[in-house]
Amino acid sequence: MENSNNNTESNLVNRMLKDQVFWVSIALILMIIVFSIIADAFATGPNLFNITRNFSFIAIMALGMCVVIITAGIDLSVGSVLALSAVVLGIVMREGYNIWFGAFACFGTGLLCGFVNGYLIAYIKINPFVVTLGMLSIARSLAIVVTKNAMIYEFGPHEDLLNEIGGGATLGMPNSVIVLFILTLFFIYALNFTAWGKHIYSIGGNEEAARLTGVNVNRVKLSAYLLSGLMAAVSAFLMVGWLGSVTNGIAMTYELKVIASTVIGGANLMGGAGGAGGAVIGAALIEIIRNGLLLAGMDPYWQGTFVGAFIILAVLIDKFKITTKK
């Protein structure tokens, strides 16, 4: 009996040590400790509040990206889809429509972009990189055209409510973080405890095998891109409320941060691996690096070097795991 317990504990430790999320969590904790030591303002309440709010927008999009990458896909358009969804929200509310119609238009825009991506990838069989790169250009271009390159800063009769939802707090926690927490629980449950989640992983592991076992591969892949577009729109809604304005340059290059968060958090670009919790931790790590470097008086452009190093390290860890399994 004692040997059995020892074996169980040993297996648990081994699994934990091979889990990329575990090592990323350790890196996150170490970064917090280091920056707390070298920057007095880092561990203060207001700064931690800002960190959690800032990373929540990226993390929400990373949840959708995580699902796409698990299916062995990619979505390069999330930053531009966020921008277009934000612009649509701003225009609709500026014209005097209520916040609920504005939210419907915002989320509908994200879903429409996700549907176009997913349909072309799943049913027409066009490469995800090509499709989403095209959508990146189309969505950003449309955002510029409809705004006529002007800022939107008036949101009609529900402007205060929009600002409160996106920029306010509940029980001392930014509302965007509360939304992130709820969505993270949903994605963890959906990916780990539903048939849909099993299908997502099986498609990423071996798409043809999944098809032969009866999985509706096209429909599941379409749902992944719909979720990615929707998460970009949710982030857009919250970000507009926080910023109090919209420009067509909003969320520029965010797709790189979102993909980096997901990969650092354990998603395999070859598909079949990843999780919602890891994606959120990856997003938190990136924001802590940015914030810590800024407060430490270092050039914030060093952020790219650190993030790039973490991405390469994450891929190396994943490659090492595959090698040891063989």
CATH number at residue 229: 1.10.3470
Q: Does residue 15 lie in a domain region? A: no
92 lies in a domain? yes
Decide if 32 is inside a domain: no
pTM for the structure as a whole:
0.92
Q: Residues 79-108: what's their mean pLDDT?
A: 96
**Is residue 101 situated within a structural domain?**
yes
Total domains, the chain: 1
Identify whether 18 is part of a domain.
no
Confidence of residue 309 (pLDDT cuts 50, 70, 90): confident
Residue 292 domain boundaries: 47-317
What's the pLDDT at 203? 97
The residue that leads in pLDDT, 285 or 304, is 285
**4 within some domain:** no
Q: How confident is the model at residue 4 (pLDDT cuts 50, 70, 90)?
A: low
Report yes or no: 58 and 287 within 8 Å, Cβ to Cβ.
yes
Mean of the pLDDT values across residues 163-181? Answer: 95
For residue 24, is it within any domain?
Answer: no
Question: If pLDDT is split at 50, 70 and 90, which confidence band does 311 have?
Answer: confident
Using the Cα atoms of residue 31, residue 275, residue 259 and residue 89 in order, give the sign of their dihedral: negative
- pLDDT, tens only, 199-227: 999 999 999 999 999 999 999 999 999 99
Give the span between the Cα atoms of 138 and 141, in whole angstroms.
Answer: 5
Residue 12 confidence (pLDDT): 63
Q: Is the pLDDT of residue 236 over 70?
A: yes
* pLDDT for res 250: 93
pLDDT of 1 above 60: no
Q: How far apart are CA 141 and CA 133, in angstroms?
A: 12
Q: Does a structural domain hold residue 306?
A: yes
Residue 293 pLDDT: 87
pLDDT of residue 324: 54
Q: What is the mean pLDDT of the chain?
A: 90
**DSSP string covering 28-74:** HHHHHHHHHHH-TTTTSHHHHHHHHHHHHHHHHHHHHHHHHHHTT--
325 pLDDT above the threshold of 60: no
